[in-house]
Amino acid sequence: MKSILIAEGHPIVRLGVSSIIQHLLDPVNIVEADDLNQVVRQLAQTRFELLILDINIPGGNNLQMIKTIRLCQPGIKILIFSAQDQLRYGLNYLQAGANGYLGKNASGKEIENAINTLLNSPAK
C-alpha cells in the first residue's frame, strides 16, 4: 500500500487532493499535515512514497524546507503543489531537490498524471 503525505495549510485543498488520490490509488494511506512542524513529525513516524507540498505551508515557505524534508526521508518523492507562478518558482524548487512542481490550477487529470509519474519514477 502506498503512503502519501499531503502538506497543505488549507483544509479544503487537502480534502480535494485526498479525494483525487483515493480515486486514483486503492488502497492508499493518506496522512495530512497543515504546517511544516507536522510534516517533520509525520516523516519521523512513517515512511512515505510521496509528499505533496504547498510552498506556502505555515512554517515553510522557503527552499530550505526541501533540505529539511530530505534529511528526514532522503528517498521521498516531493511534488510541489502551489498557487505560486510555476515559471517564477518551479525551477528553484526543482533545483533544491523537489521532484515535480504543479500549479493549483491543474486539472484533476493533471494531478493524477503527476502523482503517477512520480510514484513510478526512480529515486533521485
The answer to whether residues 3 and 46 touch, using CB atoms and an 8 Å cutoff, is yes
pLDDT at 81: 94
Q: Exposure string (b/e) for 22-50, b if CB count within 10 Å is 16 or more?
A: eebbeebebbbbbebebbbebbeeeebbb
pTM for this model (two decimals): 0.94
* Statement: residue 124 has pLDDT above 70: no
The string of pLDDT tens digits covering residues 50-86 is 999 999 999 887 889 999 999 999 999 999 999 887 7
Taking the C-alpha atoms of residue 122 and residue 71, their distance in angstroms, rounded to an integer, is: 19
For residue 97, name the pLDDT band (cuts at 50, 70, 90).
very high
The string of pLDDT tens digits covering residues 25-43 is 989 999 999 999 999 999 9
pLDDT at 3: 97
Kindly state the cell numbers that stand for 27.
488502497
How many domains, the chain? 1
Q: State the pairing for strand pair 77-82/28-33.
A: unpaired
Instruction: Supply the range of the domain harboring residue 64.
Output: 2-119
Residue 124 lies in a domain: no
* Statement: residue 87 has pLDDT above 80: no
Residue 32 lies in a domain: yes
Looking up residue 111, the CATH number of its domain turns out to be: 3.40.50.2300
